[in-house]
Amino acid sequence: MSGHKHLSVIIVPHDDSKTRNYRLSYRMVYLLATLVGVVALALIVFVVSNGQLIVAAERTAFLDRENARLRTQVAQVDSLKLELINLHALSIQIKGMLGVELSPADSLLVANLSPDARSSSNGEEEVDVAGAEEQQQMLEALPSMWPVNGYVTREFHITGGETNPRFHPGIDIAADRNTPIRAAADGVVESSYFDETLGWMVKIDHGYAFHTVYGHNTRNLVEHGDRVTRGTTIAFVGNTGKSTAPHVHFEVRKNGVPVDPRAYLLH
């Protein structure tokens, strides 16, 4: 009877060790087989599910990289478009100052920049009037006047970002202490206060996404909310903040991003 209820497992070593004989009941064999099957099935499910997760994760990472690449390309295209518009706007400014008649392309650019012109629905004459007014405002908003007459001791450099020791989001213009500092264009004073780095500083909002910053002043003459025109004296040259000699730290920002002031200043 017992032979039908048990299985014998005989282990015969190749050396002179004693042969070992193990007896397993059928019930134990069934339990072991079931356990092995369950473990194998669990391993298969685990491998399949994790394999799908790994594939999904790799695909997600690939899509993220593609999206980042596309966003970078779009940003570069937008930056190039913006630079072309800025250069065109600068040429319009120069033409306006020299009294040169604007070309149809110049007038079209001004009209496209003008929200009044875009929303006008009362006829071509009204569009032309709004465009002419917007043209004048845009010319007055471009920061083309040097804040002081002096020697540039440090140029604009933002390559590598703020971690680069050479990072400098503006130009430094050396001038005698208490030399009047002039607004580079028409605008509204956004801030006038003491900064730990720039000392007494003034920031002006010129519209059309242009801002200018004037730092290290010995004294500010304007306050928040004051409206200024190109050439208005807003402060005096000083040596405040982190500065080693009297000068003006002058920045031009377009859409909040520092740009080289020399691209707009008339020489």
Q: Is residue 176 domain-shared with residue 207, that is, in the same domain?
A: yes
Are 211 and 253 part of one and the same domain?
A: yes
- 32 vs 93: which has the higher pLDDT: 32
Asked if residue 3 is part of any domain, the answer here is no
Domain stops at, among 97, 115, 141:
141
Same domain, 247 and 159: yes
Q: Is residue 26 part of a domain?
A: no
Last residue of a domain, one of 91, 122, 141: 141
Residue 44 lies in a domain: no
19 in any annotated domain? no
Distance separating alpha carbons of residues 107 and 89, to the nearest angstrom:
11
- How many domains is the chain partitioned into structurally? 2
Mean pLDDT of the chain: 81
pLDDT of residue 120: 45
Q: Are residues 256 and 208 in the same domain?
A: yes
Over the stretch 74-104, which tens digit does the pLDDT of each residue have? 777 766 666 666 666 666 666 665 555 666 6
* Boundary (domain end) residue, out of 122, 141, 160: 141
Question: Tens digits of per-residue pLDDT, 162-204?
Answer: 899 999 999 999 999 999 999 999 999 999 999 999 999 999 9
pLDDT at 84: 67
48: tokens are 């399949």
245 in the same domain as 185: yes
Residues 6+ apart with CB under 8 A from 114: 130, 131, 134
Q: Are residues 104 and 159 in the same domain?
A: no
181 and 242, same domain (yes or no): yes
Q: SS in 3 state form for the chain?
A: CHHHHEEEEEECCCCCCCCEEEEEEHHHHHHHHHHHHHHHHHHHHHHHHHHHHHHHHHHHHHHHHHHHHHHHHHHHHHHHHHHHHHHHHHHHHHHHHHCCCCCHHHHHHHHHHCHHHHHCCCCHHHHHHHHHHHHHHHHHHCCCCCCCCCEEEECCECCCCCCCCCCECCEEEECCCCCEEECCCCEEEEEEEEECCCEEEEEEEEECCEEEEEEEEEEECCCCCCEECCCCEEEEEECCCCCCCCEEEEEEEECCEEECHHHCCCC
Q: Is the pLDDT of residue 1 over 60?
A: no
CA gap 236, 247 in Å, rounded? 10
Same domain (yes/no): 103, 189: no
Q: Is residue 33 part of a domain?
A: no
Shared domain for 224 and 173, answered yes or no, is: yes
Residues 195 and 99 in one domain: no
C-alpha distance across the termini of the chain, in Å: 114
| CATH number, position 218 | 2.70.70.10
Residue 198 structural domain: 151-263
Angstrom distances, CA of residue 247 to CA of 126, 185, 189, 208: 46, 20, 21, 28
Residue 237 · residue 176 · CB < 8 Å: yes
Cβ-in-10-Å burial (0-12, 13-18, 19+) of 117 comes to: buried
Are residue 91 and residue 177 in the same domain, yes or no? no
pLDDT tens digits, 100-151: 566 666 665 655 554 444 444 454 444 455 555 666 777 778 898 999 999 9
Q: Which of 57-61, 168-172, 224-228, 249-253 has the lowest mean pLDDT?
A: 57-61
Residue 198, exposed/middle/buried by CB under 10 A (0-12, 13-18, 19+)?
Answer: buried
Residues 246 and 174 in one domain: yes
Residue 39 lies in a domain: no
Sequence-distant (6+) residues with CB within 8 A of 91 are 106
